[in-house]
Structure 1
Amino acid sequence: MTNLLIVYYSQTGHNFEMAKWAEDEAKSKGVNIRLRKVRELADKANMNPAWEKYLEDSQDIEEASSEDLEWADGILISTPTRFGIVPAQMKLFIDSQGGLWAEGKLTNKVVSAMTSAQNNNGGQEMTLMSIYASMMHWGAIIVPPGYTDTSIFKAGGNPYGTSGTATNEGFANDLEDAVRHQVSRLIEITKKFNE
């Protein structure tokens, strides 16, 4: 059976919501799933109400580990963009996998990524490309959604990965179907690759 790791970072809940949509879709595909968050590094003394709510809503989600990556056949990464790049929390998690990388245990993992930002052009594509650059160093198999479904266009048309424009009320664009398509595509390719 296929093992899927959904690993995310979220500060105000947007990427957590995307990860939960992905988890729900993956459950419908009958794969083994681990939903994990990366460790928070920011000073919690400066929390805004949305951050506090997210921390409360996600308190039962386990933190991601190297063992989760080794277990996974497929990996879906969801993280916001910070000034056009991957936030420190997700970057630290990725950069901490040198031991697994050196042992060749990240080679041929099938990977896809999603992101969000406050602005339509707030660095989403650059964030996804920087994740994929790290995945190339791992020797991973990158599976972007491309333009393989009409949901991609409804979500804003990003072929590198579903990307949302975050607002105080949720998302400015219609993402759920695109997230579900992206995880379905990731599972399909992961199964084919691991036959």
Structure 2
Amino acid sequence: MVDPVKVAVIYYSATGNVHALAQAAADGAEKAGAQVRLRKVPELAPPEAINANPAWSQHRQDTADVVEATLDDIDWADAVLFGTPTRFGTPSGQLKSFIDTTGGLWRQGSLANKVYSAFTASGTAHGGQESTILALSNVFYHWGGIIVPPGYTDPVQFKTGNPYGTSHVAGEGQPGDVPLEAARFQARRVVDVATALRAGRAA
């Protein structure tokens, strides 16, 4: 029996929007037959900043049981989906800080030839969603990764309008059915491509 493709869903979420997308992505990958690790990156904000925002503080309590990401999660995976809120059109400092620790794996060539994809949320409809995903793609280029966007390859993508990666407008509340299904589809597509790549290499 062929071992399942291994997928890591690694994300940062302050108030829960990206967390919901990450859960949907993990669900989509699992239903596509992958072995999945759902991981959050460490929080770097000071307690006083978190406690000043009730939604942020509550979300931190609600996700206390989510395992924190380590470099082993990337090394283990055949494919990685990264999730982050936008921060002025770029990834959050928390996710970027985690990515900045990957230099050792990069030097070893351990990050190359894996499948990568990204998703995000912003406060407004034009709040930097595409530029945030493109910024993460710059990282994947340096790693020698294989970038798999959702594109317009499923009907749900014509509802979200973002071929770069699943995105959500946090100002409208928690993600509803459309962005959650888009995240599931994006993860399924990642699994399909990772599976095909592994089969091709084996052949």
Instruction: Flag whether TM exceeds 0.5 (same fold).
Output: yes
Indicate which of 35, 40, 56 corresponds to 2:38: 35
Instruction: Give the structure 2 partner of residue 64 of structure 1.
Output: 69
Which structure has the higher relative contact order (CA within 8 Å, separation 6+)?
2
Q: Decide whether the 8 Å contact of 2:21 with 2:175 is kept in 1.
A: no
Counterpart residue identity of residue 40, structure 2? K
What CA distance in whole angstroms lies between the structure 2 residues aligned with 1:107 and 1:46?
37
Instruction: Give the structure 1 partner of residue 27 of structure 2.
Output: 24
Q: Decide whether the 8 Å contact of 1:165 with 1:172 is kept in 2.
A: no
Q: State the TM-score, normalizing by the size of structure 1.
A: 0.96
Structure 1 spans left out of the alignment, 5+ residues? none
State the Cα deviation string for residues 71-92 of structure 1 (Å, max 9, x = none): 0001011110001111111111
Indicate which of 47, 50, 54 corresponds to 2:59: 54
What CA distance in whole angstroms lies between the structure 1 residues aligned with 2:120 and 2:72?
24
- Identity over aligned pairs, percent: 44
3-state DSSP of counterpart to 1:102: helix
Matches within 5 A, 1:123-138: 123-138=128-143
Instruction: Give the structure 2 partner of residue 5 of structure 1.
Output: 8
Number of corresponding residues: 194
More helix by share: 2
State the Cα deviation string for residues 114-160 of structure 1 (Å, max 9, x = none): 000001010011100000000000000000001101111212x1111
Instruction: Give the structure 2 partner of residue 186 of structure 1.
Output: 190
Structure 2 spans left out of the alignment, 5+ residues? none
Indicate which of 151, 156, 164 corresponds to 1:160: 164
What CA distance in whole angstroms lies between the structure 1 residues aligned with 2:42 and 2:168?
22
Q: Decide whether the 8 Å contact of 2:20 with 2:180 is kept in 1.
A: no
Structure 1 residue runs of 4+, over 3 Å off?
A: none
Instruction: Give the structure 1 partner of residue 149 of structure 2.
Output: 144
State the Cα deviation string for residues 142-186 of structure 1 (Å, max 9, x = none): 00001101111212x111101110036314883111111101100
C-alpha RMSD of the superposition: 1.3
Counterpart residue identity of residue 68, structure 1? D
